[in-house]
């Protein structure tokens, strides 16, 4: 009798959760629901042997994690290409017509949904039970956040019905609704505690708590929008049918999702949601359109990390006016001197902005930026805020021209700027503490050695307390020294040392990238690891042999050669290997073959201002397609991509008789 009653209570609670969270049609009052939950809690307390992990009373664990485990996604979690204008959406629709061989009169059936501004996650169900949850991470590897996902009431621990597959992976977005965000911040302010800047940061921060009891107190929600791995027969023939199945199994689906016919219906949906945006219970930054028929999706396939059959139609970037109070010069890992505007704090794009990048002195001069100027600043999503233009009419009489200092603001070494380069650099090298700090941060970063928990602030702390002075020192840290640092302790020290130990097992291309060789990004590091499976062969090679690698020209070859010829570099590598850093012979699939990518063996240089991308975004998209993006021109350059007001590089490209592409040609190249 007791066991039967417990099972019935669990069934009733699951059904009423479904009606409340999925159907938005509750049958019980809150008090009646609480009565069912309380009865179940009392019975389970009396008969603990009858407790199961999927009981609704067991959503919150009691033990905090020491660190998140990594999860390898069996199917990559792809990102989306973006459209920022109606013309770009029309081009997307036309590309699909061409690839699907449809005539102009045929309208493609799309499914449209709001693009939620949260954190992408994957839920894995086995035999209908929630077995694992992971963040998207880099699309290939994420973090295991199962313990925290279980605390979100909208996510079922057990699927409803009987017709679900044995293995079902569901993708979706974890968010913090705006009402919950406002209430949480109000409580935090009342308790004189830290508040979150925006709901997206709040959702991400809440889901990445090592103690699930903290996550359970945060008002998180989730909407599912796709499936990943499915074992068994296909669950549907369209995206919309897939979502209907997920909803029937108890998973939350955004009620604003809609099937639309053709481009004009997409644009109508975009306008409709735009008008509702301020009243929606969550933050969005655009609309996602997907081809509805799954067979067509499969026919269209993917490019690099983005599907051809889907696109995000982003809302316009948000702009506000501010005033430049001062300009500082930051020193990067390679000595690059970057001017940064310090602004009157201005709320734009969901955050308060106090700093904006000025990129380099060419940009400062082109935009005629003075200290004291009133400027337009722009922020789109996670893009670093930038100064768009100066309001010349509001310029003060005493506005001060921005001049680059003659010496480094950190180490006082001479600042040099090579002819033809937009970037000036500190000549201090390893004598410049700023460059050393940045080198350590780069070494520990996710795409390099991936030392979890070793963020920028902790690197600064370790360096400023003389615990590290180079990358090799990381592997000689002592627990007691770390624990004695401000805001650290025994547990934090143990977690960091465990993460450092885990990082010792890596891959050769990650290690090469982590060394921070100038102009050696991920793609070049992979090319080097593919050519030189033995690090000693790479150390002993010559510039001539390096140039035999398809995506390496004379400048990069010289940079690599000079780096490995330096005694300090060789000493650092010896120390790191002695500390236990190792890798296996290149694994199959560890490095994607260049010939599989559409822009393999192509080299591009970017210059000037692009209207639809930042240069960093353009570089990233080109590299995803296999291209090498260099900072300097050479005879091996495939083409110069020139935006507005291109400078000396355009003249040099013309002198070398190189191909020059405009932004429209770049857009075509990427799609």
Express each pLDDT in 214-246 by its tens digit: 899 999 999 999 999 998 777 899 999 999 999
Higher local confidence (pLDDT), 363 or 597: 363
The answer to whether residue 64 is domain-embedded is no
Residues 170 and 270 in one domain: yes
Q: Which among 265, 284, 314 is the end of a domain?
A: 314
Residues 541 and 600 in one domain: no
Residues 37 and 178 in one domain: no
Assign residue 598 the CATH number of its domain. Answer: 3.40.50.10190
Residues 229 and 122 in one domain: yes
Half-sphere exposure of 364 (CA within 13 A, CB side): 25
Q: Which two structure tokens, joined as six digits, stand for 321?
A: 């006016």
Assign residue 495 the CATH number of its domain. Answer: 1.10.150.20
- CA distances (Å), origin 509, targets 13, 117, 516, 595, 621: 51, 33, 12, 18, 20
> Strand pairing of 603-607 and 639-642?
parallel
Give me the helix-helix angle, 178-190 and 199-207, nearest 10°: 80
The residue from 7, 115, 447, 526 that is catalytic is 115
Assign residue 229 the CATH number of its domain. Answer: 3.30.470.30
Q: How many domains does the chain have?
A: 5
Higher local confidence (pLDDT), 410 or 625: 410
Reported as a pLDDT band with limits 50, 70 and 90, residue 587 is very low
Has residue 171 got a pLDDT over 70? Answer: yes
- CA distances (Å), origin 632, targets 114, 436, 639, 652: 41, 25, 11, 10
Instruction: Count Cβ atoms below 10 Å from residue 659 Cβ, excluding itself.
Output: 12
The answer to whether residue 76 is domain-embedded is no
Report, in this order, helix, strand and coil percent for the chain, each rounded to 5: 40, 25, 40
Tell me what pLDDT residue 519 has: 86
Q: Which among 583, 610, 629 is the end of a domain?
A: 583
Tell me what pLDDT residue 318 has: 75
Per-position b or e across 281-304, b if 16+ CB within 10 A of its CB: ebbbbbbbbbbbbbebbeebeebb
Residues 47 and 119 in one domain: no
User: CA-CA distance, 540 to 538, in Å (whole number)?
Assistant: 5
User: CA-CA distance, 491 to 485, in Å (whole number)?
Assistant: 12
Best-predicted range by mean pLDDT among 96-100, 185-189, 637-641? 96-100
Residues 541 and 663 in one domain: no
Annotated catalytic residue 115: yes
The answer to whether residue 413 is domain-embedded is no
Q: Which two structure tokens, joined as six digits, stand for 601?
A: 């063996």
Tell me what pLDDT residue 375 has: 94
Tell me what pLDDT residue 381 has: 55
Q: Which among 337, 369, 404 is the end of a domain?
A: 404
Radius of gyration of the chain (CA): 27
Reported as a pLDDT band with limits 50, 70 and 90, residue 590 is very low
Q: What is the pLDDT of residues 503-547, one digit of tens each?
A: 999 999 999 999 999 889 888 898 899 888 889 999 999 999 999
Tell me what pLDDT residue 428 has: 87
Q: What is the mean pLDDT of residues 329-346?
A: 93
Residues 556 and 641 in one domain: no
Residue 631, domain extent: 594-670
Residues 345 and 250 in one domain: no
Higher local confidence (pLDDT), 658 or 391: 391
The answer to whether residue 415 is domain-embedded is no
Residues 326 and 298 in one domain: no
Tell me what pLDDT residue 380 has: 61
Residues 302 and 165 in one domain: yes
For the ranges 87-91, 614-618, 641-645, the lowest mean pLDDT is seen at 614-618
Q: Which two structure tokens, joined as six digits, stand for 378?
A: 């722009």
Has residue 111 got a pLDDT over 90? Answer: yes
User: CA-CA distance, 192 to 628, in Å (whole number)?
Assistant: 50
Across the chain, mean pLDDT equals: 87
The answer to whether residue 409 is domain-embedded is no
The answer to whether residue 575 is domain-embedded is yes
Assign residue 328 the CATH number of its domain. Answer: 2.40.50.140
Q: What is the mean pLDDT of residues 149-158?
A: 93
Best-predicted range by mean pLDDT among 39-48, 186-195, 484-493? 484-493
Reported as a pLDDT band with limits 50, 70 and 90, residue 589 is very low
Assign residue 22 the CATH number of its domain. Answer: 1.10.287.610
Has residue 65 got a pLDDT over 50? Answer: yes
Tell me what pLDDT residue 592 has: 44
Reported as a pLDDT band with limits 50, 70 and 90, residue 250 is very high
Reported as a pLDDT band with limits 50, 70 and 90, residue 21 is low
User: CA-CA distance, 608 to 624, in Å (whole number)?
Assistant: 21
The answer to whether residue 146 is domain-embedded is yes
Q: Quick one: CA torsion of 212, 217, 218, 220, rounded to 10 degrees? A: 80
Residues 552 and 619 in one domain: no
- CA distances (Å), origin 430, targets 48, 427, 553, 623: 61, 9, 26, 29
Tell me what pLDDT residue 190 has: 82
Per-position b or e across 374-403, b if 16+ CB within 10 A of its CB: bbebbbbbeeebbbeebeeeeeeeebeebe
For the ranges 306-310, 585-589, 664-668, the lowest mean pLDDT is seen at 585-589
For the ranges 75-79, 442-446, 479-483, 538-542, the lowest mean pLDDT is seen at 75-79
Residues 158 and 305 in one domain: yes
The answer to whether residue 68 is domain-embedded is no
Q: What is the mean pLDDT of residues 189-198?
A: 79
Reported as a pLDDT band with limits 50, 70 and 90, residue 442 is very high
Residue percentage of the chain with pLDDT more than 70 = 95
């Amino acid at each position: 009798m007791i066991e039967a009653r417990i099972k019935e209570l669990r069934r009733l609670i699951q059904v009423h959760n479904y009606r409340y969270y999925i159907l938005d049609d509750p049958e019980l009052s809150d008090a009646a629901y609480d009565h069912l939950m309380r009865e179940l809690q009392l019975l389970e307390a009396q008969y603990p042997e009858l407790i199961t992990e999927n009981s609704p009373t067991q959503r919150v664990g009691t033990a905090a994690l020491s660190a998140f485990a990594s999860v390898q996604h069996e199917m990559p979690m792809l990102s989306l290409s973006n459209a920022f204008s109606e013309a770009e959406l029309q081009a997307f629709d036309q590309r699909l017509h061409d690839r699907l061989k449809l005539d102009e009169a045929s309208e493609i059936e799309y499914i449209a949904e709001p693009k939620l501004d949260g954190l992408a996650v994957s839920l894995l169900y086995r035999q209908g039970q929630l077995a694992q949850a992971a963040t998207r991470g880099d699309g290939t590897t994420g973090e295991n956040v199962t313990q925290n996902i279980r605390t979100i009431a909208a996510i079922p621990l057990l699927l409803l019905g009987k017709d679900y597959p044995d293995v079902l992976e569901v993708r979706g977005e974890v968010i913090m609704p705006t009402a919950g965000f406002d209430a949480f911040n109000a409580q935090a302010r009342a308790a004189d505690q830290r508040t979150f800047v925006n709901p997206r940061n709040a959702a991400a921060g809440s889901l990445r708590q090592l103690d699930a009891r903290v996550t359970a107190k945060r008002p998180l929600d989730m909407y599912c929008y796709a499936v990943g791995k499915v074992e068994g027969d296909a669950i549907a023939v369209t995206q919309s049918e897939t979502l209907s199945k997920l909803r029937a199994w108890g998973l939350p689906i955004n009620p604003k999702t809609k099937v639309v016919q053709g481009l004009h219906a997409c644009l109508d949906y975009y306008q409709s949601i735009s008008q509702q945006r301020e009243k929606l219970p969550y933050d969005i930054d655009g609309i996602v359109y997907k081809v509805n028929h799954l067979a067509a999706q499969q026919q269209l396939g993917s490019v690099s990390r983005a599907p051809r059959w889907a696109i995000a139609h982003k809302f316009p970037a948000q702009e506000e006016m501010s005033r430049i109070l001062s300009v500082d010069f930051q020193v990067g890992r390679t000595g690059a001197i970057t001017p940064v505007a310090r602004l009157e704090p201005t709320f734009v794009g969901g955050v308060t902005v106090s700093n904006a990048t000025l990129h380099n002195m060419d940009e400062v001069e082109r935009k005629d930026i003075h200290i004291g100027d009133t400027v337009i600043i722009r922020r789109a999503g996670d893009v670093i805020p930038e100064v768009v233009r100066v309001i010349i009419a509001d310029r003060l009489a005493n506005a001060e021209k921005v001049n680059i200092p003659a010496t480094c603001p950190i180490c006082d070494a001479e600042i040099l700027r090579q002819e033809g380069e937009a970037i000036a650099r500190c000549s201090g090298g390893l004598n410049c503490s700023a460059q050393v700090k940045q080198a350590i941060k780069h070494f520990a970063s996710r795409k390099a050695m991936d030392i979890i928990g070793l963020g920028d602030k902790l690197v600064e702390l370790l360096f400023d307390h003389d615990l590290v002075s180079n990358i090799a020192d990381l592997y000689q840290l002592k627990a007691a020294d770390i624990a004695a640092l401000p805001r650290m302790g025994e547990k934090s020290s143990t977690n960091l040392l465990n993460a450092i130990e885990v990082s010792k097992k890596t891959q050769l291309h990650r290690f090469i990238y982590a060394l921070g060789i100038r102009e050696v990004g991920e793609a070049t590091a992979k090319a080097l690891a593919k050519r030189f499976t033995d690090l000693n062969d790479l150390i002993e090679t010559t510039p001539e042999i390096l140039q035999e690698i398809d995506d390496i020209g004379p400048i990069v070859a010289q940079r690599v050669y000079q780096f490995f010829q330096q005694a300090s570099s060789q000493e650092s590598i010896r120390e790191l290997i002695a500390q236990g850093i190792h890798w296996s012979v290149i694994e199959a699939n560890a490095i994607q073959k260049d010939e599989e990518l559409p822009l393999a063996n192509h080299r591009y240089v970017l210059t000037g201002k692009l209207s639809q991308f930042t240069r960093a975004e353009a570089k990233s998209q080109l590299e995803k397609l296999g291209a090498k993006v260099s900072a300097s021109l050479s005879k091996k350059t495939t083409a110069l991509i020139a935006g507005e007001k291109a400078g000396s590089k355009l003249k040099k490209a013309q002198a070398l008789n190189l191909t020059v592409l405009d932004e429209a040609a770049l857009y075509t190249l990427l799609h």
